[in-house]
Amino acid sequence: MKRNNTDRQISPTNPLSALLGYQLRRASVAMMANLAADLNDISLRPSEASILLLVQANPGITQSMIGSILGINRANMAPLTALLVGRGLIDRTPADGRSHGLHLTKAGTALAKKAARCIETLETRVLAKMPEKVRSTLVGQLRAIWDETPD
């Protein structure tokens, strides 16, 4: 098909930019990239930091329970947990013979505190970009998108 050069785009338009799904994804990716970079300084990935914070808030919790809360499946929790145990950040105490209760070690507690500080700093920085009124309702609106039973 013959084309002239009148359709060469100088300033392209993005038809996706008005879409909630698109903006959610871009915002999420951007924030995760920032978080990953910050957590990298303490040798943690976002998923590892999440697990530490969850164990800290729920001493004795099992791998499966963590997975079901965070949306990480059982098979993928195994190597993640093993790594954190291997680094001396969490330990396992037998619970019922087939499962273990997880607890933070002293080193794990210290690192969880640093991770929490990373996360809070980022949260504050991003939330500062929006007006107070939005700040207080945004998190709840996002939760409504994926979870009908808020906790």
- Using CB under 7 A as the criterion, which residues of the chain lie in contact with DNA when the complex forms? 29, 33, 45-47, 62-65, 71-79, 81-82, 95-100
What is residue 136's three-state secondary structure? helix
From the list DNA, its own copies, none, partner contacted by residue 107 (C-beta under 5 to 8 A by kind): none
Work out whether 99 is an interface residue with its own copies (CB under 8 A). Answer: no
DSSP letters for 61-129: B-HHHHHHHHT--HHHHHHHHHHHHHTTSEEEEESSSS-EEEEE-HHHHHHHHHHHHHHHHHHHHHHTT
**Residue of 42, 72, 85, 122 that binds its own copies (CB under 8 A):** 122
- Shortest distance in whole angstroms from residue 138 CB to its own copies: 7
From the list its own copies, DNA, none, partner contacted by residue 17 (C-beta under 5 to 8 A by kind): its own copies
- What is the pattern of x (binds its own copies, CB under 8 A) and - over residues 36-75? --------------x--xx-xxxxxx---x---xxx----
Work out whether 21 is an interface residue with its own copies (CB under 8 A). Answer: yes
CB under 8 Å to 45, separation ≥6 — which residues?
A: 36, 39
Contacting range for its own copies; rule: CB under 8 A; set: 7-15, 72-80, 82-90: 7-15
Length of the chain: 151
Work out whether 31 is an interface residue with its own copies (CB under 8 A). Answer: yes
Output phi, psi for 133, to 5 deg: -60, -40
Output phi, psi for 16, to 5 deg: -85, -15
